Amino acid sequence: MNSDEKQDCECAPPQAESTPAEEYDRSLEESDIENPEASRMKRAAAKHLIERYYHQLTEGCGNEACTNDFCASCPGFHRMDNNAAAVKALELYKMNAKLCDPHPSKKGTSSAYLENSAKGPHHNSACSDRKMNHRDLHPVRDDFKDLNYLTEETVYEILDICREKEDYSPLIRVIGRIFSSADGLVQSFRKAKQHTKEELKSLQAKDEDKDEDEKEKAACSATAMEEDSEASSSRTAEGASQGDSSNHKLGPDEVSVDIEAVRRVYNRLLSNEKIEAAFLNALVYLSPNVECDLTYHNVYSRDPNYLNLFIIVMENSNLHSPEYLEIALPLFCKAMSKLPLPALAKLVRLWSQYSAEQIRRMMETFQQLITYKVISNEFNSRNLVNDDDSVTAATKCLKIVYYANILGGDLDTEHNEDEDEEPPPESSELMLQELLGEERRNKKGPRVDPLETELGVKTIDCRRPLIPFEEFVNEPLNDVLEMDKDYTFFKVETENKFSFMTCPFILNAVTKNLGLYYDNRIRMYSERRITVLYSLVQGQQLNPYLRLKVRRDHIIDDALVRLEMIAMENPADLKKQLYVEFEGEQGVDEGGVSKEFFQLVVEEIFNPDIGMFTYDETTKLFWFNPSSFETEGQFTLIGIVLGLAIYNNCILDVHFPMVVYRKLMGKKGTFRDLADSHPVQYQSLKELLDYEGSVEDDMMITFQISQTDIFGNPLMYDLKENGDKIPVTNDNRREFVAQYAEYMLNKSVEKQFKAFRRGFHMVTNESPLKYLFRPEEIELLICGSRNLDFQALEETTEYDGGYNRESRIIKDFWETVHSFPEEQKRLFLQFTTGTDRAPVGGLGKLKMIIAKNGPDTDRLPTSHTCFNVLLLPEYTTKEKLRERLLKAITYAKGFGML
């Protein structure tokens, strides 16, 4: 076959020298009479052609993208045994079927067969394992217009030709044409077909003699059965064409593209600037067509290999360069964002197998596009960043990389906490809401990302991602995001507007906290509105707030009784805005009274003398006391308090290990969580796991452990049935460690923690809290930042009543405050804001106001903690300012009307 006229692996019909079926039939009748030599030559040619058909049916042409239904290399081809192949070869000969040229990547037996058949039907030679020389098969040419897809070998062949001529225009034209064509790119760089074990055995056992025998057998079978086959050939061909045309089914994580080959090709080509420009221009032409295919033609469901296109493009390590960021990458991201959910999940699973460096490269590609678009445009309340298609599409693409980062990290998909057996009772106002057409949204809880559901993995399942979560946060985007508008899009769930709250990984804790604040305030307003309507309909007393009237000396008892009644009668009241009143005090609660209420409740509940929690001096953390005599109601109360603190945007001085927040999010504690909650036990268990001697002989431990109760008495507990009789050995020590951690973190405090979690969920069950925040961020929400940057506070403080930044007393004030030790700084914060913690984002996010409160006087400074306002008289000396301020912050307690 003349390779100058054929493409490398294009399916081509037999050439003119092949004997057609009619001539073969006639030669059988007349050969002996007219010309015995001509008859012999015709029979030899026919035999040679049938042998090629047989070889094509048993071993294929070597091109994994072959479209010939009668070739073993075709993805839809059904394998057949040698006898069936012999019959089929005759049928194909008679119908003059397509015959493939051998592919350049074909090795071994196929290469040997090609050489043998090229030298003649009777030429015998040993099988060769060497690669075929592309130059031998394909003489140098300048025209590659008939090339419809690329392989690694083809690219290198063209590259060698271009180097010899010092002209890269042929390669540039080929890349421009193939990489701008979705069909061409999808077919390119396919993996070599993996043979089954049976096929590999057959190929290994086959030697030259057996190969020749099979060919002889095929020819003999063809001659003997030609009469029978003539009648059935058309039916067989029709059935084969119908059965073999289906695509090869890919596994859930399987792709047909050879990713390593793609990487090698890019490494060879991207160093040439002209060739790089070809990739860039091709991507600009390719992307709109791909977007159209995915949007309107449902192309992925018809051909899962369509995903190859995105895999190949994303391997381009120059995508983040300025040339791509302007036009090419935004267009490609828009196309990629149109992928259906199954395709996104498949990309996640594939990319999760990549290294951390590869994940980071893709993450940085999308992050740079987002940052570039944000800083090159002026976004504001009228020109929303949500309306920029490039930014939103890149964020959707970044989500794929984010979940790949999770899936490829250290996962713990097990150890999930059981849900509460009894969900919180529904509000008695629910019927009224339904009548008013305001049925609650998300009654079954907050939303779940569809991609999480498709993958069967959650962010909370990831102990350690491939790259840190913080690298996915885009600060420039957070700076320009109008959170009130974004929250509206999030709640309405409109298809026309994109909300960045659906991709919380890109938002920092401050932005997410603002979104949560809007959600809480709107819910409070809704509860107030419903209460007003309810009172009008039912004629009951108006009570739009969650009112708590407490005595300072009995704060726990008063709060517990009131909150328990609310939780039993109408838990929806917990969603109302909190309003606290201290008996005998005149303070009006605009936020400051609530802050002190929370502080006093926390101080009381976490008092070690009460015995609800144990305190670890080394870690400075509290843990649930498994031997506590307190009722479940009191643990429910502290859960409600934590929930109310988040709901009312207050910061608490609580000190829990991280495992508590993980358990609140639905995960059980494991051995790794002991590291910060019970460090002494963790270290002992780690030494047990690492011990190289005989654990049973040297340590003599059993599956029975001892604990001490609240009075210091030892309590024995069997980790397994008859645990005192089961020794811990080198073989079962991992089981012992797991069972020990399970008891310490879960079983021993199950009753207390369930009550605690129930109280927390009474307030937060309808909140997007779990959707938006990770456990580390939940702790930040509740406890605030422990880093007190007073320099940042000074920069953001505002002044009123005649003071300004240049006033003498203001300069003296900040010099005094900066000179305070850590404890006095915390007292100052407590005095001014109602809490000694910095809010989420640090003290720079705290809007404090210093107002003038008259001329020099002996009066102490005062504050409105609700509004973070410090009322400061204009003291004449710095010393008097320091003395008055220290006395005020040291002895401040209680509220009075000014």
User: Which of the residues are catalytic?
Assistant: 866
Are 84 and 236 spatial neighbours (Cβ–Cβ below 8 Å)? no
Angle subtended by helix axes 341-351 and 307-314, to nearest 10: 40
From the CB of residue 134, how many other CB atoms can be counted at a distance below 10 Å?
Answer: 17
Distance separating alpha carbons of residues 583 and 575, to the nearest angstrom: 23
816-822, long-range: CB < 8 A, 24+ apart: 816/878, 816/881, 816/882, 816/885, 817/790, 818/790, 818/791, 822/788
SS (H, E, C) 234-256: HHHHHHHHHHCCCCCCCCCCCCC
Residues in CB range of 467: below 8 A, 6 or more apart: 356, 359, 360, 363, 405
Distance separating alpha carbons of residues 108 and 129, to the nearest angstrom: 4
SS3 336: helix
Are 347 and 382 spatial neighbours (Cβ–Cβ below 8 Å)? no
Residues in CB range of 112: below 8 A, 6 or more apart: 125, 126, 127, 128, 208
Distance separating alpha carbons of residues 870 and 798, to the nearest angstrom: 11
Are 643 and 654 spatial neighbours (Cβ–Cβ below 8 Å)? no
User: DSSP secondary-structure letter at 730?
Assistant: T
Q: Which residue has the tokens 């360069």?
A: 321
The number of helices, as runs of H, and strands, as runs of E, in the chain is 40, 14
Point out which residues pair with 517 in neighbouring strands. none
Distance separating alpha carbons of residues 258 and 254, to the nearest angstrom: 11
Distance separating alpha carbons of residues 184 and 303, to the nearest angstrom: 14
DSSP 779-847: HHHHH-BS---HHHHHHH-EEETT--TT-HHHHHHHHHHHHS-HHHHHHHHHHHHS-SSB-TT-GGG--
C-alpha 321: how far from its chain's center?
Answer: 24
Distance separating alpha carbons of residues 136 and 647, to the nearest angstrom: 76
Kindly tell me the burial class for residue 879, based on how many C-beta atoms sit within 10 Å of its own C-beta (0-12, 13-18, 19 or more): exposed
User: DSSP secondary-structure letter at 775?
Assistant: H
SS3 530: helix
Q: Which residue has the tokens 């019909």?
A: 13
Sign of the alpha-carbon torsion through 498, 499, 500, 501: negative
